[in-house]
A and B are shown apart, each in its own frame.
Chain A
Amino acid sequence: MPRDIAIKLLFATGPSINTRLLVAVIASVALLSTDHQNPRLDDVRSALSFLTDPLKYLVGFPSVLLDQASDAVSSYSTLRAENEKLRDEQTINKTRLLKFDSLEKENIRLRALLENSFKLGEQVLIAELVSINMAPFEHIVVVNKGTRFGVYPQQPVLDANGVVGQVFRALPFTAEIMLITDPSHAIPVQVNRNGLLTIAVGSGKHNQLNLPYLPANADIKPGDLLITSGLGGTFPAGYPVAVVDEFDAAGSKSFVGITATPKALLDRNRELLIVWGNKEPVQLLKNQIPDSKPPTSDKNE
């Protein structure tokens, strides 16, 4: 570099650092207060994510590679055993589903008799985890599907065993998913055995949910299955969430300390299901009942 340019840089004119700091602080505070109150800045975030999302994929790539490598080197017998296990599972699941159609129709008819509206039929999209670590104290994971695939905030996310969480923020190529164990997450649930409604709050620990809103005389036992109640509108009703842990029922204390273990394998799964529920409950009209086709079956995948 020529000497005169270096000297020019050394005595750079332009705004002093105090002015620069003032501008930066004002801009930051303006951004903070806007972003806190409304989603107007989502476009800015999406635009900036075009710069940052490649980094997420880059950092997550080695673990994808590792997975593929372990698939490639796993022995023939391991693969065959896994294949057999999966085939068995599929047979069992298929047999279970045989009666599902007729049960579903029966359910529609019964609900029609009760003149009840209901929600049925959900679409799912498989998303893969991008293994990166965003913030150590929040249970937020990143998946490789975003608004490009129609993912939107507050969308429920499941895995094969139960509810995982909800979409917290959707960017064009990735989506951030808040797990049900996040301390700021709460999910309305009911006890499958007796329909008791309550709310399961994230504990901040992996594999634990708290049930703080139970009255002292609530009918709840260790081993009870908690399913989504559908209240609140975010999660569709009827998906398994957690199993109530052991607690000291003999003590006459109130049930403040009751905890539950999530059914979903929150820290082990690589594939998640993003769910599109029907926004509008299907209103059953009398003339639809004899029809053997459920009104939403065309939306099922």
Chain B
Amino acid sequence: MNNFPGKGGIIFTLVLAMCLRIVPLPNELAAINPDWVLLALIYWTLAIPERVGIFHAWAFGLLVDVLTGRLLGQYALAYSLVIYLCLSLHRRLRQFPLPQQGLFIFFCLLLSQLLLFVIKNLQQPGEFPASFWLPVFTGTFCWPLVYTVLRFIRRSRIFR
């Protein structure tokens, strides 16, 4: 049984995630908009680690840097580190029940946000509102949704 979607499917979901990232929202919602691109990358890494790896994460991180007007390289760095974690642990993670997987996702998102926080502070020290950390929590809550939708796309025959 061949469970690999084509490259088209993977790229389509990542582009969709990038669109969700910049979708216009009211201020309160924008503050908790999770990092969809990272969630999608984590899913594809856990699902097909032979296909999606650190360099993919790095390239999409760079695109997110340009998309959101950050310093070049900060999302690239955060994404490649998180995907490295996923790659080295993916065999164990597949056996985990959903709550434990959720804990791991939470840790990944936290690591990414922490790196962004450090880089931002190095660039321009300043105060951060506590809501800076909220996307980590909303991202964790959105994980089951991302997991279900992307698994459906992976198994559907549209993108073969």
- In the complex, are the beta carbons of B24 and A131 less than 8 A apart? yes
- In the complex, are the beta carbons of B63 and A52 less than 8 A apart? yes
Of the residues B2, B15, B68, B123, contact of A135 by C-beta under 8 Å: B68
- In the complex, are the beta carbons of B72 and A32 less than 8 A apart? yes
The A contact surface, by secondary structure, is helix
Quote the shortest CB–CB distance from A189 to chain B (angstroms).
Answer: 22
Residue of A nearest to B48 (CB): A9
Residues of chain A from 24 to 53 with CB closer than 8 A to chain B in the complex: 24-25, 27-32, 34-36, 41, 44-45, 48-49, 51-52
Residue of B nearest to A44 (CB): B72
> Which residues of chain A are near B61, meaning CB under 8 Å?
28
The complex places the Cα of A111 from the Cα of B6 at a distance, in Å, of 71
The complex places the Cα of A175 from the Cα of B14 at a distance, in Å, of 24
A-B contact pairs, 11 of them (CB 8 A): A17-B53, A17-B84, A24-B76, A27-B73, A28-B74, A29-B73, A36-B123, A60-B24, A136-B30, A137-B129, A137-B132
| Given known A45-B72, A184-B124, contact A12–B77 (CB-CB < 8 A) | no
Q: Mark A119-132, 1 if CB is under 8 A from B, else 0.
A: 00000000000011
Binding site for A on B (CB under 8 A): 2, 4, 15, 18-19, 22-25, 27, 30-31, 33, 50-51, 53-55, 57-58, 61-63, 66-74, 76-77, 80-81, 84, 87-88, 119, 123-124, 126, 128-129, 131-132
- In the complex, are the beta carbons of B84 and A36 less than 8 A apart? no
A56 CB-CB contact with B under 8 Å: yes
| Given known A17-B87, A133-B30, contact A59–B19 (CB-CB < 8 A) | yes
- In the complex, are the beta carbons of B63 and A48 less than 8 A apart? yes
The B contact surface, by secondary structure, is helix
Size of the A side of the interface (Cβ < 8 Å), in residues, is 46
> Which residues of chain A are near B132, meaning CB under 8 Å?
137
- In the complex, are the beta carbons of A21 and B124 less than 8 A apart? no
A221 CB-CB contact with B under 8 Å: no
- In the complex, are the beta carbons of A25 and B81 less than 8 A apart? yes
Quote the shortest CB–CB distance from B124 to chain A (angstroms).
Answer: 6
Known A20-B54, A28-B58, A41-B72; 13 more pairs at CB < 8 Å = A6-B2, A17-B54, A28-B61, A28-B74, A28-B77, A28-B80, A35-B71, A45-B66, A55-B18, A60-B24, A133-B22, A137-B129, A183-B126
A134 CB-CB contact with B under 8 Å: yes
Quote the shortest CB–CB distance from B34 to chain A (angstroms).
Answer: 11
- In the complex, are the beta carbons of A134 and B68 less than 8 A apart? yes
> Which residues of chain A are near B73, meaning CB under 8 Å?
27-32, 35
- In the complex, are the beta carbons of A20 and B55 less than 8 A apart? yes
Quote the shortest CB–CB distance from A50 to chain B (angstroms).
Answer: 10
| 8 nearest CB pairs, A to B | A31-B73, A28-B77, A24-B80, A32-B73, A28-B73, A9-B50, A132-B22, A35-B72
